[in-house]
Amino acid sequence: MGRRYKGQLLHGWLNLDKPPGLSSSQTVSRVRRAFDARKAGHGGTLDPLATGILPIAFGEATKTVTYAMDGMKAYQFGVRWGEARSTDDREGNIIETHYHRPTALQIEGTMAAFVGTIEQVPPRFSAVKVGGRRAYDLARRNKAVELKPRRVEVQELRLVDVPDADSAVLSVTCGKGTYVRALARDLAHRLGTVGYVDWLRRTMVGPFIEADAISLDKIETLGHIPPDSSLLMPIETVLDDIPALALSAQEAQKLKHGQSISALSVASRSPFKDIEQGDTVCAMSKGRLVALVRIADGGIHPVRVMNL
């Protein structure tokens, strides 16, 4: 017999404000217990040091996690000047010191070099794979870790505050794969000193924003949370930028059974505006998401079917 899954079956997204001191996986486990949910995952890892937006996907929403992870993200973070740490954040060992402390004017004059498409070497303590192993596993064993530069997108970098000569508060809006720890490290080097991330808060992940987030404490004090809770956002929340096609009930049923359907009949009712061959789009029926589908070779082919 197959393993029986316990808990209630619910689908959707939770906009969670993660507290410090917990890994993303630990946070998901606690949220899953609070909701008594069968299945849950998260849409973008946060280090235990970090706080802020951690989107939690329940049930069939887990099939759309990659779309949350691909979205733009925003952070506010503190940089401490004059010390370099092994992890590029405050949890690492001090590996270098420097006397220079940049001024607000110097910081603002340097930030433009880090906006746009830039090359960035991930931190040694990161989840990037090197020869099939996670970089942080190798770094913890004091093994040489040679990481190659990667292109990342920084949409905006702004100086928020300079509390004292040793620190600065910045905000950044960036794309997938951008490491804020590496950004702080590289900014410090460009300013003629060294530095690390002292604290980090994520304020946005795609459509999930800080103003609408709910704390883990609040979730755990609510007790039993029903499947139709208003706390849950629809599965389609992370798919707002993806075109949608309206299908008939018969067409939707075929997709649900893994069958492809003709693109011609759908296009005759609803022209494929902004849709090209090879695109992935949302297939909708009666206002509900049926599947994520791919348009190719005159057909609409199921990629991810929603079992709702």
DSSP 3-state of 44: coil
Distances (CA, A) of 287 to 238, 254, 294: 16, 17, 19
Nearest to 247 by CA among 308, 289, 203: 289
Catalytic residue among 17, 47, 88, 198: 47
Nearest to 166 by CA among 95, 92, 98: 98
Contact 194, 98 (CB under 8 A): yes
DSSP string, 135-195: HHHHHHTT----PPPEEEEEEEEEEEEEEETTEEEEEEEE-TT--HHHHHHHHHHHTTS-E
φ/ψ region of 261 (left if φ > 0, alpha if ψ in -120 to 50, else beta) reads beta
What is the spatial distance between Cα 76 and Cα 73, in angstroms, rounded to a whole number? 11
For the question of residue 47 being annotated catalytic, the response is yes
Q: Tokens 């720890």: give the residue.
A: 181
Distances (CA, A) of 38 to 6, 62, 70, 102, 106: 6, 12, 25, 51, 52
What is the spatial distance between Cα 120 and Cα 185, in angstroms, rounded to a whole number? 10
Which tokens sit at 201?
């808060």
Largest CA distance in the chain: 71
What is the spatial distance between Cα 190 and Cα 102, in angstroms, rounded to a whole number? 10
Which residues are known to be catalytic? 47
